[in-house]
Structure 1
Amino acid sequence: MITVEEIRVIGEARVLAGLDQGRLDLQRHLLTHGDQPQLTRADYTNLSEAVGLRGRGGAAFPVALKLQDLPARGVEAVVVNGSESEPVSRKDRLLLTQSPHLVLDGAVGLAHALGAPHVLIAVHDPAAALSVREALMERDDGLAVEVRETPGRFVAGEARAVLSALEGGLAVPPGRRVLPTRKGYHRRPTFLSNVETFAQLAVLARLGSRGFSSTGLISEPGTQLLTVDGAVQWPGVIEAPTGVPLDTVLQYAGAEPGPVLLGGYHGRWLEQTDGVTLQRPEVSAGIILALGPATCPLGEVTRVAQWLSSQSAGQCGPCVFGLAALVDDFARLTVGDPQGWHDAHRHLGLVPGRGACAHPDGTARFLTSALEVFDDDVQRHLSGRGCGRPVLGLLGGAR
C-alpha cells in the first residue's frame, strides 16, 4: 500500500489533494473538495470536450467521444475499471484506498447524468475493495453501487476482460472487438473507464473547464498521476501537470541516469529523455521506470518477457506460442547466441497485429524497443563477454 511518504506533487494537488494527511473519509473529502455538482449528460460531454479529457488507462480514448457514442437511452451501467493489473502501477489503488469518495463522485455523478441504474467497481486488490465498501457505507447515492473483485492477472485488466468477469465469465478479452458503449455489461451500452478517469471527472465537474485548464497543456490541460519506480530514490505516485518534462519528474524522484521505460510493460524504452514531455497517449498508463546503470538491461527485459508470457490469455497462437518463442530468443541472446538475435527479430515481425487482444502487440513493442535502445549491450552479449552486470530486478512486479 502507498504511504504518505510515497505521494508527491509537482505544482498544484488536485486529484491527490488532502492525502498528505492520510485517507479521506467522507467528511474530510467534502472539506477538501467541496460538494459534487449535479451535472447533465450534455454538461459532462461539453466539459470533457472542452478540456480534451482522455481516459487515464492504456488506451487514452477521448472521454467526450465515448459519451457521444452512447445511445440517448438505455445505458445499462457505469463501470469503474480498478483492475490495475500491471504490477508496478499504483496510482489507481492509491485513489481507491486513500481517496475513494472522489472516484465514487465521478462514477455516480456520471451514472445519474446517463440514467444508468448501476455503478460497478471492479477491483482485484483486497485493500482497495475494502476501502470502497467502507466509503459506500458513508454515502447515499440513490442508485445501485457494487464492488466486484476480479482476478489480478495482467490481461484481466483489459476492458472486455473486466466485463466478462463481471458477468461471471473468464477474465480474458474475447476475440471480438466490440466497444462497451455498444455492447458492454449484459450486452447493453456501458460507460467503462479506469479509476483515475473518474477522479478527474469529479475534479472537472467542480472546477469547470476554465479552472481545470489553469495548468497543463493547452491541448489536454489538467494534471496526471504518474507511478515512478526502478532506480530512483523516492518511488511512488506523483501528481504533475500534463506536458511536464520527463526530466523534471525523474529529477523529482531522484532517478539515476540511464534508460527509461515509459508506459510500463507494454510501453517503449527511451535512451535519451531530454525534450520528452509527458502526455497521452505516449505516457499510456502513467508508468515511468528508471533502469539506472548498475543492472543488466537484457537480463531485466528477459525477466519481464518471461512474466508477460506467463500472463497469456491462452486463446490465440501469437500469445501462446509467439511470446514463448520470444522468451526463448531473448534468453539465448542474453547468453551470447547469435541465432537468438536473428530469431528474435524474425518473431517480432510475426507477432504484432495477429492476436485476439492487445497483449502480444504490447509485448512485441516492449521487446522491439529494447533491441533498439540496448543495441550496444546486445553486441557485448553477442561477443561472448556479456555486460558484467547482475540482474537486480529493477523493473518491478515481475520479481
Structure 2
Amino acid sequence: MTILQETPLQPRSIGQPRLLAGLTQGRADLQHHLWAHGVHPQLSRAAYTELAEAVGLRGRGGAGFPVALKLADLPARGIAAVVVNGSESEPVSRKDRLLLTMAPHLVLDGATGLAQALRARQVIVAVHDAAAAASVRAAIQERQDTVDIQVSDTPGRFVAGEARAVLRVLEGGPAVPPGRRVLPTRKGYNGRPTFLSNVETFAQLAVLARLGSREFSSTGLISEPGTQLLTVAGSVQRPGVIETPTGIPLTTVLQYAGAATDAPVLVGGYHGRWLPRPDGVILGRPDVSTGIVVALGADTCPLGEVHRVVQWLASQSAGQCGPCVFGLAALVDDFGRLLLGDPAGWHDAHRHLGLVPGRGACAHPDGSARFLASALEVFGEDIRMHLGGGCGRAVRGVLPVPGGTGE
C-alpha cells in the first residue's frame, strides 16, 4: 500500500492530456507553457459566457456552480477582483496544488483573461501551500500581464478553503465562513462583486478559450464534456493526480492506479460518500465534484479509519454553531463506542446524524454527516463484527489525516 501524501505529485492521464499537457519533464515555465498550449486568446465577457454555457462548464470545486450563470450574475461594471481559490484544505486532494506547482501559467491565463474581460481591477491567488505559492510568484515574474496579480497566503484549516472563508482572510478577517450565505458575485472581496472559483476552473477556462466549444466537447460526457482531474489515493499502487475524460468508469480509474475493484471506495473526499463497490459507477457529478477517489483496500479496519477521520473533522470545526461544535463531538464519541462494540454507539450515531444536516452555519456539518452516514450504510458487515467482538484488523491509516498516520 502506498499513501499519496508520502509521494511526489505524479501527473498522469487516461487519454490525451489537456490540463496536464507538456508536464512530462516537470514544471512548465512560460516558454514550455506556450509551446504546449499556444498563446491565450483575448476574449470578451460575452464570449466567455457563451463558451461556458455551450459546454456546460461548472466550477471544479465542491459546489459545482455553472460558470455561465456565475458570469451572468455579475454586474456590468464595478467588479472588484477575480479570485483563484487555491486553499486546497481537503487532506486527500492534490489536483489544484499540482496545477499551481507545475502548470501555473495555465491557471493565470484563465484568471487574467477573465479579469480583462470583466474589467476587474486585479487577480488574487489565495493559496496555503508554500511550494504552490512560490511557483505562482515565479510565474508572475515571467509574465507581462496588464492586470495586477497578487498571491495571498491563507491558513490550511479545512473550513478555511470555503469560498466565503477565503474572502474573509483576504480582507484581514478570521479564516472561517460567515453565517450569512451571500454570493461573491453580489458581495465579495471588500464588499464588491467578485468572480471566485477554484484553481482547476480557471485552467479549464484557459483550455476552453484556446480550443473553442466544439473541440473542447470532443471528449467526455455530452452534458459536461472535457476532462477532469482526479486525485487517486489510498490502497493503490500508483497514487497521484490523473486527468481523465469526464464520465469515465470508476473501475477504469482504479485499474489504472493499480487498486482493487472489489472493495469500498470513497468518492468526493471527507465531505463525500462511500460506495460499497465501484461496479457500474460513472465518475461525474456530484460524486467527484472535488476530484477525489480513495481506495480503502481489505487489510485495514474500516470503522477505525472512519473514526480517525471524524476526530479530525471535529477538530476542524469553525466553532460557530451547535451542529459543528456539539454534533461532530457527539459523533466522535458515538463512533468510538461503536468501534469498541457498544450497540448504543450505533443507535446514538444514527440519532445524531439525523440532527446535524441543514442546521449549520457552513457546509462542514452537512458534509461530515454525509461521509459518516454513508459509512454506516456501506460498512454494515464490519459493524456487526465489531458488535460481536471486533473485525481483527489493524487501523493502518489508509485515510490520511494531518498530524496522524498517513499524513
CA deviation profile, 1:83-116 (whole Å, cap 9, x unmatched): 0000110000000010000000000000000000
Task: Tell me the residue number matched to 1:373.
Answer: 378
Letter in structure 1 aligned against 2:233: D
Per-residue deviation, 1:2:
9.6
Task: Tell me the residue number matched to 2:231.
Answer: 227
Per-residue deviation, 1:155:
0.2
Which residue among 248, 271, 274 is the counterpart of 1:266? 271
Aligned mates of 2:117, 2:11 — CA distance in 1: 32
Aligned pair 1:388/2:392, yes or no? yes
Task: Tell me the residue number matched to 1:136.
Answer: 140
Letter in structure 2 aligned against 1:180: P
Task: Tell me the residue number matched to 2:316.
Answer: 311
Per-residue deviation, 1:301:
0.3
Aligned mates of 2:72, 2:364 — CA distance in 1: 28
Letter in structure 2 aligned against 1:287: I
Task: Tell me the residue number matched to 2:168.
Answer: 164
Runs of 4+ in structure 1 deviating by more than 6 angstroms, as ranges, are: 1-5
Instruction: Find the residue that maps to 2:24 and give its secondary structure.
Output: helix
TM-score (norm 2): 0.96
Per-residue deviation, 1:21:
1.1
Aligned pair 1:330/2:335, yes or no? yes
**Equivalent residue runs for 1:115-194 within 5 Å:** 115-194=119-198
Instruction: Find the residue that maps to 2:150 and give its secondary structure.
Output: strand
Contact 2:23 2:102 in 1 (8 A): yes
CA deviation profile, 1:112-161 (whole Å, cap 9, x unmatched): 00000110000000111100000000011111100000000000000000
Contact 2:53 2:67 in 1 (8 A): yes
Contact 1:4 1:21 in 2 (8 A): no
Letter in structure 2 aligned against 1:378: I
Letter in structure 1 aligned against 2:149: V
Contact 2:232 2:242 in 1 (8 A): yes
Contact 1:318 1:351 in 2 (8 A): yes
Aligned mates of 2:110, 2:337 — CA distance in 1: 49
CA deviation profile, 1:52-84 (whole Å, cap 9, x unmatched): 001100111111010010011111100000000
Task: Tell me the residue number matched to 2:295.
Answer: 290
Per-residue deviation, 1:280:
2.0
Which residue among 7, 19, 29 is the counterpart of 1:25? 29
TM-score (norm 1): 0.98
Distance 1:375 1:3, change over 3 A: closer
Per-residue deviation, 1:281:
2.2
Contact 1:79 1:119 in 2 (8 A): yes
Contact 1:55 1:62 in 2 (8 A): yes
Letter in structure 2 aligned against 1:224: Q
Per-residue deviation, 1:4:
7.6
Task: Tell me the residue number matched to 1:239.
Answer: 243
Letter in structure 2 aligned against 1:327: V
**Unaligned 5+ residue runs, structure 2?**
none
Which residue among 197, 206, 214 is the counterpart of 1:210? 214
Task: Tell me the residue number matched to 1:354.
Answer: 359
**Unaligned 5+ residue runs, structure 1?**
none
Per-residue deviation, 1:279:
1.1
